[in-house]
Structure 1
């Protein structure tokens, strides 16, 4: 049987890598090779933190929680599998909370007075932010499934 704490760590590391990859892919799709990238109009790098926060956090909560549920169902983790509905509801709530974090980033950018970023630093910031979302969203999502089970 898998150690629950080790399972949380493993799922978190996987989630960090995936949210980084998703963030990189969406960055390339939205901003392409624009250089520099305006924080506000016309590129709106700052406002892009909202959809990134919501979408990446939803996935960072949903997929690891569903994988944890499957592991419980297989008997490799202790407990009883919670309902898929409860996992989806929690993922939505965590994504909504992450929108608040996106708002904090937007507010910080507004206070900073920065008007643009070169492509490289903008890309690095968005990918690092994706990693942060995986790091902070996945553990509570997975632990909740383990506690329900």
Structure 2
């Protein structure tokens, strides 16, 4: 049997790396090599925090929870696997909650008065924000599945 804390830590680290990679990929897709990047239109770096928050958080909750469910079903972890539907619902709820975090970032950008970021700064901010999403979203999603054991 795997120690649950170690398992949770491993899943969280994997999720952080994946959300960073997804955030980097989507940043490149959306913003390309535009330099500098406007916080507000036409680039809308600020508003991009909403879809990033929702999508990255949904994946940061869904995939590790489904992997945990699979490990329980295989007997690698103790417990009773929850339904896929409950995992999906929890992932949706966590993604909706993450939208509030994205709204907070937008509020901070509004209050800051910053109009543009250099490409490297904007890239670093978005990738770091992706890491933050993985760090705060994955643990409650995985814990919910592990608690059934």
Determine if the TM-score, normalized by the shorter chain, exceeds 0.5: yes
Q: Which residue of 1 aligns with 2:126?
A: 126
Q: Which residue of 2 aligns with 1:16?
A: 16
Q: Which residue of 2 aligns with 1:74?
A: 74
**Number of matched pairs:** 149
Q: Secondary structure at the match of 1:148?
A: coil
Q: Which residue of 2 aligns with 1:41?
A: 41
Q: Which residues in structure 2 correspond to 1:1-149 (within 5 Å)? A: 1-149=1-149
Gaps of 5+ in 1: none
Q: CA-atom RMSD, angstroms?
A: 0.5
Deviations 1:67-115 (A, max 9, x none): 0000000111110000000000000000000000000000000000000
Distance 1:8 1:126 in 2: 24
Q: Secondary structure at the match of 2:147?
A: helix
TM-score of the pair, normalised by structure 2: 0.99
Gaps of 5+ in 2: none
